[in-house]
Amino acid sequence: MKKFFLLTVLAGFHFFAFSQLPDSLKYVKTSYMIPMRDGILLNTIVLTPENQNSSYPFLIVRTPYGIDSGYPEGKQTITLPKNFSFLNMAPEGYIFVFQDIRGKYKSQGNMQIHQPLIHQIIKGAADESTDTWDTIEWLLHNIKNNNGKAGITGISYPGWLALAGAVDPHPALKASSEQACMGDLFLGDDFHHNGAFRLSYGFEYTYEVEGDKTTDSSFPFPAFDLFNWYLQLGSLKNVNEKYFHNRIPTWNNFVKHPDYDSFWQKNSPLSYVKKVEIPQLHVGGYYDQEDLNGPQLMYNYMEKMDDEHKNHLVLGPWFHGQWGRNKADSIGMIALGSNTGEEFRRLQKKWFDYYLKGIGDGKFEEAYIFQTGSNEWKTYDTWPPKQATIRPLYAGQGLKAGFIKPSEEGSISYISDPQKPVPYRTLPIEETYGKGSRWRTWQVEDQRFVYTRPDVISFTSDSLKEDLVITGAVNAHLFASTSGTDADWIVKLIDVYPDWDSANFKMSGYQLPVSMEVFRGKFRKSFSNPEALIPGKPEEFLIGLHQVNHKFKKGHRLMIQVQSSWFPMIDRNPQKFIPNIFEAKESDFIKATQTIYFSPQYPTRIDLPVIN
Per-residue pLDDT tens over the stretch 412-443: 999 999 999 999 999 999 999 999 999 999 99
Residue 9 clears pLDDT 70, i.e. is over it: no
pLDDT band per the 50, 70, 90 thresholds, residue 384: very high
- Cβ count near 443 (within 10 Å): 22
What region, left, alpha or beta, does residue 273 occupy, with left being phi > 0 and alpha being psi -120 to 50 degrees? beta
**What does pLDDT average to over the chain?**
94
pLDDT band per the 50, 70, 90 thresholds, residue 390: very high
Cα R_g (the chain), whole angstroms: 24
- Cβ count near 410 (within 10 Å): 18
Cis peptide upstream of residue 579 (ω within 30 degrees of 0): no
List, in order of start, the domains of the chain with CATH numbers: 4-183+268-311 (3.40.50.1820), 192-263 (1.10.3020.10), 389-611 (2.60.120.260)
pLDDT band per the 50, 70, 90 thresholds, residue 1: low
pLDDT value for 72: 84
DSSP three-state, residue 294: helix
pTM of the model: 0.95
Q: Is 124 exposed, middle or buried (CB count within 10 Å of its CB: 0-12, 13-18, 19+)?
A: exposed
Share of the chain above pLDDT 70, in %: 96
Residue 8 clears pLDDT 50, i.e. is over it: no
DSSP three-state, residue 45: strand
**Segments of 117-255 assigned E as strands:** 146-155, 173-179, 192-193, 196-197
Contact between 368 and 347 (Cβ < 8 Å)? yes
pLDDT value for 458: 98
- What one-character-per-residue DSSP string does 381-442 give? SSSS-TT-EEEEEEEEGGGEEESS---S--EEEEEE-TTSPPBSSSSP---TTSTT--GGGG
pLDDT band per the 50, 70, 90 thresholds, residue 210: very high
pLDDT band per the 50, 70, 90 thresholds, residue 499: very high
pLDDT value for 612: 81
pLDDT value for 565: 98
Residue 223, C-beta contacts closer than 8 angstroms, at least 6 positions apart? 229
Q: How far apart are CA 244 and CA 363, in angstroms?
A: 51
**CA nearest to 38, candidates 114, 116, 102:** 102
pLDDT band per the 50, 70, 90 thresholds, residue 2: low
Q: How far apart are CA 41 and CA 32, in angstroms?
A: 9
pLDDT band per the 50, 70, 90 thresholds, residue 215: confident
Torsion angle of alpha carbons 551, 554, 560, 565, nearest 10°?
-70
Contact between 169 and 137 (Cβ < 8 Å)? no
Q: How far apart are CA 291 and CA 295, in angstroms?
A: 8
Residue 262 clears pLDDT 50, i.e. is over it: yes
Q: What is the pLDDT of residues 537-568, one digit of tens each?
A: 999 999 999 999 999 999 999 999 999 999 99
pLDDT value for 332: 96
Contact between 204 and 283 (Cβ < 8 Å)? no
pLDDT band per the 50, 70, 90 thresholds, residue 16: very low
Q: What angle do CA 527, 528, 533 make, to 5 degrees?
A: 60
Rounded to an integer, the average pLDDT of 453-475 is 98
| Helix runs in 273-401, H state only | 293-303, 340-357
pLDDT value for 11: 38
Rounded to an integer, the average pLDDT of 367-384 is 98
251-255 long-range CB contacts below 8 Å, 24 or more apart?
251/202, 251/203, 251/206, 251/207, 251/210, 254/191, 254/197, 254/202, 254/582, 255/580, 255/582, 255/583
pLDDT band per the 50, 70, 90 thresholds, residue 283: very high
What region, left, alpha or beta, does residue 172 occupy, with left being phi > 0 and alpha being psi -120 to 50 degrees? alpha
Q: Is 220 exposed, middle or buried (CB count within 10 Å of its CB: 0-12, 13-18, 19+)?
A: exposed
DSSP three-state, residue 504: coil
How crowded is the C-beta side of 375, counted as CA atoms within 13 Å?
Answer: 11
Rounded to an integer, the average pLDDT of 168-196 is 96
pLDDT value for 22: 65
Express the helix, strand and coil content of the chain in percent, nearest 5 each: 25, 30, 50
Q: How far apart are CA 188 and CA 297, in angstroms?
A: 9
Q: What is the pLDDT of residues 99-143, one digit of tens each?
A: 999 999 999 999 989 899 999 899 889 999 999 999 999 999 999
**CA nearest to 58, candidates 139, 161, 167, 168:** 139
How far, CA to CA in Å, does 342 sit from each of 33, 339, 482? Answer: 34, 6, 48
Residue 17 clears pLDDT 60, i.e. is over it: no
Q: What angle do CA 551, 449, 458 make, to 5 degrees?
A: 60
Write out the H or E segment, with its range, that includes residue 380. Answer: strand 376-380
pLDDT value for 71: 82
